[in-house]
Chains A and B, each alone.
Chain A
Amino acid sequence: MNLFFNNQNPKSNSSKRELLFTFQSIIVTGLLAFTAIAFFVYNDLSIIKGIKIIFAPFLSVVPLLFILSILRDLQKGFLEGNYSKAEIIKFCVITVAITAAFTGITFLLSKIDALEILLAAIMAILSAIFFLKSKIKDILGMSIVTGIAEGIIVYMIFLF
């Protein structure tokens, strides 16, 4: 994948960072789909009310689209130069905290026993990620997205 970055963006660091951020959010999306499938197959989820499945995505997608349309960008974008040591430490701590939080959230997801509720929850997280991806284009967004990915993986490895 780095091959990809080199060829396409030889010029600016901020565009490379943006590409990395995009990749990271694609990975998280994949991981969420993976989680949904894993829980669905392994926990033998049942469909209690079929009609709810159709409406589950709207619950979070509609507010997301609304917010995206009315809000301006919250951050200035990616930095061209290096981050300072204090910033790196701060954002690493944020990442670790989000990882811990998301290990807990995935644990809660595993307790859900109806498919429609799981779907609604996964869609809500996905909407949050798309919000970060499009509005918080910054190291903060990157550390949150990384934390979510690691949290899901840590749960899958150690607690599942």
Chain B
Amino acid sequence: MKLKQVNTAFLVTTGVSVLVFIYLVFLGYDEIKTLKDVIKIIASILFPIPMLFFVRFILIEHFLPQNTDEYKLKNQKPATVLLILTVVISISFMQLLEYTTSQKLEDNLIFAHLINSTTISSYVLNYILYNNLRANGILSGVLLSLAIHVFFLSA
């Protein structure tokens, strides 16, 4: 039973992340000028996959988490704190970086893709296999801050 749920969740999240990738590629469509850009974007999307396989290879024992109420209750607070902390830290980090290098993240699309695909893949992997709530907090924080940065803070 549990396996079936996990499989469904995995399919759904993979579908969502694929959609996000495609959307991002089309979003930056006018920035893609040469074949080189296409190659770079494909490479940055592929970047996390071998690494995730390697991690999975090493940490194979921690398979199928026990997502009990007790575990949730215990990790609620640290996970929330980590989420807020990561959002604040990564937003200020990105602002600082843009300020010091006087370049926009949107102009360096490759880095946006790289951060995004790495975080989404680790998010899916963590959600499905390890269900580590603290890691979930950090990864959600990174994704959220990236979204906030792109939507609100870059004029």
Contact = CB atoms under 8 A, between A and B. Distances in A.
Interface residues of A, number: 37
A124 interface: no
A156 to B, nearest CB: 4
B98 to A, nearest CB: 19
Contact of B57 (A10, A20, A42): A20
Given A3-B11, A6-B3, A17-B60, A160 B50 contact: no
Contacts of B110: 157
A78 to B, nearest CB: 9
A146 B7 contact: no
B44 interface: yes
Interface of B: 3, 6-7, 10-11, 35-36, 39-40, 42-44, 46-47, 49-51, 53-54, 56-61, 110, 114, 128-129
Contacts, number: 81
A153 B46 contact: yes
Contact of B7 (A6, A17, A143, A160): A6
Given A6-B3, A6-B6, A146-B50, A16 B60 contact: yes
A interface SS class: helix
Given A38-B39, A157-B114, 9 more contacts: A7-B7, A17-B57, A20-B53, A24-B57, A28-B50, A83-B58, A149-B50, A153-B50, A160-B40
Contact of B51 (A28, A38, A82, A150): A150
B interface SS class: helix
Contacts of A156: 39-40, 42-43
A12 B154 CA distance: 50
A95 B44 CA distance: 19
Point out which of B7, B58, B59 has the most chain A C-beta atoms below 10 A from its C-beta.
Answer: B58
B60 A160 contact: no
B43 to A, nearest CB: 4
A86 interface: no
